[in-house]
Amino acid sequence: MNRIETTIEHCKTSELASQLQAACRAALVGGTIIRDMYNAPHSIEMKGAINLVTDTDVSSEAAIIASLNEDTPDIAIMAEESAGDNPKIPEGKVWIIDPLDGTTNFAHGFPFFAVSIALLQDGVPQVGVVYCPMQDELFASCREGGAWMNGKRIQVTDTRFLVESLVATGFPYDIHENIDEVLMQLRDILPKVRDIRRAGAAAVDLAYVACGRLDGFWEMALKPWDTAAGWLLVTEAGGEVTDFTGKPYSPFIPEILATNSAIHQLLKDQLE
């Protein structure tokens, strides 16, 4: 059995299994385009002062949408490069797509980026896939079916103390408007943890919490396509995801705190 077959076996229903299979197929299609274009010259446009979009984001998005439309023609699609700036919580089933999470990394040849695809039903995550093309790591989860990486079950760490925790964060594109809050968070958290990473792809940060490479992750000013898939990966791997005050998470709120669960309260106390 290949890594997708091994994973979808664990889905609770055949419908979820075929949706997870569709998400994996689309993520591999997008990821292959990204990997093929990694060493080619990029055409880059600016969405904001430091917010880039490349021709690869656009090509990956088109190919992912085509793949999902072929496999699940009845499911609506919300994708970053075509969704507009203020997406609303959709009703019913919708695919939420980030065709290239970590565009700045991609544009600079820093090989930490991914495709992120989630299926939400009335705002509740059903399927979440994050594919890192340079590492060929396929993180996949379906509701109540666990979380998997390349067909092997993954779970969060059991680290209980901040001083033993490796955590990650990210900086918003509108950093000039948020600089005080970001620096305050770093000032409070950095001396208490083992170390902090800012690797530049929120979807991958969440996948890394799910598989135990990180103990926790927080970030403000994110969009639904950054987090929707990683949210399910973390919860299915035994972790916890909330806003900074511990309230239930939705990818349609801008802030996220995702941890192995054991350090959730401790990290939340630093962010509140």
Residues that bind ligand IPD (CB under 6 A): 98, 101-104, 170-173, 200-202, 219, 222, 226
Q: Which stretch binds Ca ion (CB under 5 A): 79-87, 118-126, 138-146, 241-249?
A: 79-87
Closer CB to Ca ion, 137 or 226, in the complex: 226
Q: Least distance (Å) from ligand IPD to the CB of residue 154?
A: 20
Is residue 137 near Ca ion by the rule CB under 5 A? Answer: no
Placement of tokens 């396929």 in the chain: 138
146-185 binders of Ca ion (CB under 5 A): none
- In angstroms, the CA 153 to CA 208 distance is 13
Closer CB to Ca ion, 226 or 236, in the complex: 226
Is residue 226 near Ca ion by the rule CB under 5 A? Answer: yes
Q: Which does 110 bind (CB under 5 to 8 A by kind): Ca ion, ligand IPD, none?
A: none
Closer CB to ligand IPD, 11 or 206, in the complex: 206
Q: Least distance (Å) from ligand IPD to the CB of residue 158?
A: 26
Closer CB to Ca ion, 80 or 137, in the complex: 80
Q: Which does 243 bind (CB under 5 to 8 A by kind): ligand IPD, Ca ion, none?
A: none
Q: Which stretch binds Ca ion (CB under 5 A): 71-79, 133-141, 223-231, 239-247?
A: 223-231
The answer to whether 91 touches 122, Cβ cutoff 8 Å, is yes
Is residue 240 near Ca ion by the rule CB under 5 A? Answer: no
Is residue 101 near Ca ion by the rule CB under 5 A? Answer: yes
The answer to whether 146 touches 10, Cβ cutoff 8 Å, is yes
- In angstroms, the CA 68 to CA 269 distance is 40
Q: Least distance (Å) from ligand IPD to the CB of residue 118?
A: 14
Query: Cα angle at 156 between 102 and 31, to 5 degrees?
Result: 30
Q: Which stretch binds Ca ion (CB under 5 A): 30-38, 59-67, 95-103, 248-256?
A: 95-103
Closer CB to Ca ion, 145 or 200, in the complex: 200
Q: Least distance (Å) from ligand IPD to the CB of residue 233?
A: 15
* CB closest to Ca ion, residue no: 101
Q: Which stretch binds Ca ion (CB under 5 A): 92-100, 136-144, 181-189, 252-260?
A: 92-100
What is the residue-wise DSSP string for 34-88? HHHHTTSPPPEEESSSS-EEEHHHHHHHHHHHHHHHHH-TTSEEEEHHHH-SSPP
Binding residues (CB under 5 A) for Ca ion: these are 80, 98, 100-101, 226
